[in-house]
Structure 1
C-alpha cells in the first residue's frame, strides 16, 4: 500500500498542476521513498500547501481546473483533498467550508474523500453532517458512499472524531437513508458504519437495524447481518433476536484440542459436539473464542465465526475446525498457554488449553 503514492505519482501530480498554472517547486523536491503511506500523504500535502496559492478560493480553483484532466485521479487525490481541507480551515470562512465539501464530493468520484473529511467533521460536525445527509440523494454512488464511510465513528486508517463516539446517534439519518441503496458498495459501507456504532452504543445499533427490518427490501437481511456481526459474536440479546438466532437448550461436548503443543506457524485444531436438547428446532450462531496470550502474560479473547445453522431437536452437530498461527502483520503471537471456548448463540461452553511453542524448541 505504501507504493500507492510513489515518486511517479508525485511526478504526475506535479505535471498536472503545472498545466493549470501552479509552479510545483516544493512538490518536485519532496521525497516519499521508504515511508509509510500515511506519512507520504502528509509529505505531499505539505508540499502542496507551499506550492498552491495561499488563499482558499485560488487553491480550490486550481484543483477544479486540474480535475478537468481525466488523469487527475487515483491516490494522488488523497493529499490534494487534505490540502483543500487545510486551506478552508485556515480561512475560517463558512462559505469556503461549504465549497470545500463540494470539492471533496467532486474528488471522491475518482478517489474517496473519507479521510480528508474527518477534520471537517471535527471542526463543524453539524454542518458537515447536514451536507452528508444531502449527499445520500446524490446520483453518484461514490458521493453517497462518502456520506456513510466518511462519517463512521471508527473508520480504519482515519483520524478519530471524538464527537462521533460521544454522540453515536448523530449519523442515523445518513444510514437510514442509504441501507436500501441500489449499490452494494454503498450498502456495505452502511453496514460497516452501524457495526462501528455497535462499539459505542450496542442498543442503538440494534434499534437502527430493527427499523430497517420493519421496512426491508430484498437486500436488507444481508445488510442487517453484516451490521450486526460484532454484536452477534458478543451475544447481544437483541441482535441475536433480530437475526433469528433462538434456542438455549444445548449439550456441548468440547471443545477438545487435538494437539496441546502447537509450534508457531502451525495450526491448532479442535473438535466439539453440539446437541439440541430442546423440543423445537434452534437456529444457531456457532463461534469459538480464542484467548490469545499477550506480551504481559494475560489472555485476551477474540471471537471467530464457525457457522450458522438450524439444529433439529435431538440433532447433534459436529465441529472440526482450526486456527492458523502462521506469521501475519495484523497480530503478534506470544509463546505460552492459550485457551479456546465454544460459543453458541452468545453463550460460552467448555474450555481447553494448549501451548504455543517455539518450533526450534520442539525439534
Structure 2
C-alpha cells in the first residue's frame, strides 16, 4: 500500500499550486507554501493541510471558487491524488455557502480524475434527502465513474471515511441507488454495489438478504455474483437465510475429516499447514461454502475468531473432496500476533466442524 508521502507530498502541492494559478487563483501562495508543512503528517492531515491551502487561495464566494476548479478541470495535469484535497475543499466551501446541487455536480465532474466519494459524505450528513436527489440522478450518468460515485459515496461504512449515521441506522433511503445500479454494465460499478450491500449486512442483515433476493428475482447474468459478494460477511457468519438464498443448505449432510494440522509449531513469518476432507453423505448434490476459522490468541490470553475463505464446491452424492491449505502468519500492520496456543476450525455452510490446536511462536 502506498505511503502518505507517496500519495500527497511537496511535489503534489507544488504541481497543484501551478494548476490553480493557471486556472485563475494566481499566485496560489498558500499552496506553494504548504508543501513544506507536509513532512511527517498522516495522510488525513496532509489532505486537510492542502485543502486549507486551496480554500485560502481560491475565491471565498462559491460561484467564483467553482469557476477556478472547472478551469483546472480543463487541464490534463489536474489529476490523481492532487484532486483529493480539492474535493474536500469543494465540500467545505459549498456547505459554508449552503450550496448543494451545484457542488455535487462539480464533484461528479471531479470524480473521474480519481474519486470524490469522501467529499459526498458531508452533504449526506448535512441534509440526507436533499443530497440524495442529485446522487440518484448519477445512476443514469453515461460515465461509469459517476455511477460508481452514487453507490460508493453513500456506503454506510465506507472505509477510511466518517460514517453516515443516518444510513447506518436506516439504509432504506439509499436503496433506490443500489436498485438502479445492481445490473450496471460496468463491473467497477457492480463491485461498489456489492460492497455497499455488504456494509448494510453488518447492521441490517435481514434488509441485505431481502434486497439481494429482490435483485435475484429480476437478475442480469451478473447478478448472482453481486449477491454473493454483497452477502459474503453473512455467509461467513453462517446466516441461514443468506446461505439458503445463495443455494447453500445450512443443514447439508456432510462428513468432515480434519482439520489435520501438519505444522503444530509455527513461527511468525511462516505458514500454518493443514489438510481436510469433505464427503457428501446426503442423497442430493451438495453446494458447499467452505471456510476456515483461525482462533487468534490475544494479549489477555483469550481466543478471538476470524473467518477465512477456503472454496465453493459442489459435491455429488457420495463424492469426497480433500485439499491442503497454507495460512500465512507474516507480519501485518493491521494485526498483532501473540505467542501461544491458537486453534484452526473448519466451517461448512456456516456450521463449525472439527478443531485443532497449533502453537504460534513470536519474537
- Length-normalised TM-score, structure 2: 0.95
Across the two proteins, how many residue pairs are aligned to each other?
Answer: 356
Kept after mapping to 2: 8 A contact 1:168/1:200: no
Structure 2 equivalent of residue 276 of structure 1: 280
Structure 1 segments unaligned to the other structure (5+ residues): none
Larger deviation: 311-320 or 321-330?
311-320
2:150 is aligned with 1:147: yes
In structure 2, the residue matched to 1:218 is 221
Runs of 5+ consecutive residues of structure 2 not aligned to the other structure: none
In the alignment, which of 59, 83, 93 is matched to residue 87 of structure 1?
93
Secondary structure of the equivalent of 2:294? strand
Q: Deviation at 1:165?
A: 0.5
Tell me which residue corresponds to 1:43: 49
Residue of structure 1 equivalent to 2:261: 257
> How far did residue 35 of structure 1 move?
2.5
Of 284, 290, 295, the match for 1:291: 295
Residue number in structure 2 paired with 1:172: 175
Residue deviations 1:8-34 (CA, integer Å, cap 9, x gap)? 111111011111231311111113233
Matched, 1:326 2:330: yes
CA contact (8 A) 2:337 2:362 kept: no
Quote the offset at 1:282 in angstroms: 0.8
Structure 1 distance, partners of 2:349, 2:114, is: 40
Q: How does 1:31-110 map to 2 (within 5 A)?
A: 31-91=37-97, 93=98, 96-110=99-113
Equivalent position SS for 2:192? helix
**1:129 CA drift (Å):** 1.5
Provide TM-score, normalisation by structure 1: 0.95
Q: Quote the offset at 1:181 in angstroms.
A: 0.6
> Take 1:43 and 1:160, find their aligned partners in 2: how far apart are those partners?
22
Give 1:101 shift. Answer: 0.6
Q: 1:330 offset after TM fit, Å?
A: 2.6
Please give the alpha-carbon distance, in whole angstroms, between the structure 1 residues aligned to 2:279 and 2:197.
33
- C-alpha deviation, 1:145, in angstroms: 0.4
* Mean CA deviation greater in 214-223 or 33-42: 33-42
Question: How do 1:88-237 and structure 2 match up within 5 A?
Answer: 88-91=94-97, 93=98, 96-237=99-240
Stretches (4+) displaced over 3 A: none
Separation in 2, partners of 1:132, 1:270: 48
- In 2, Cα distance between equivalents of 1:148 and 1:295: 39
2-side partners of 1:267 and 1:111: how far apart?
A: 37
Map Cα deviations across residues 250-290 of structure 1 (whole Å, 9 max, x no partner).
Answer: 22222121222211111111122222221111111111011
Rounded Cα–Cα distance in structure 2 between residues aligned with 1:339 and 1:206? 31
Q: Deviations over 1:70-119 (max 9, x none)?
A: 2111111110010111111112x2xx221111110110121211011111
- Measured after TM superposition, the shift of residue 319 of structure 1 is 3.1
Identify the residue that residue 317 of structure 1 maps to in structure 2: 321
Distance 1:160 1:294 in 2: 28
Show the counterpart of 1:340: 344
Q: What is the deviation of 1:320?
A: 1.5
CA contact (8 A) 2:297 2:337 kept: yes
> In structure 1, what is the equivalent of residue 247 of structure 2?
244
CA distance in 2, matches of 1:248, 1:234: 16
How far does the alpha carbon of each residue in 1:332-353 deviate from its partner, in whole angstroms, 9 at most, with x for none?
2111121111000110011111
C-alpha RMSD over aligned residues? 1.4
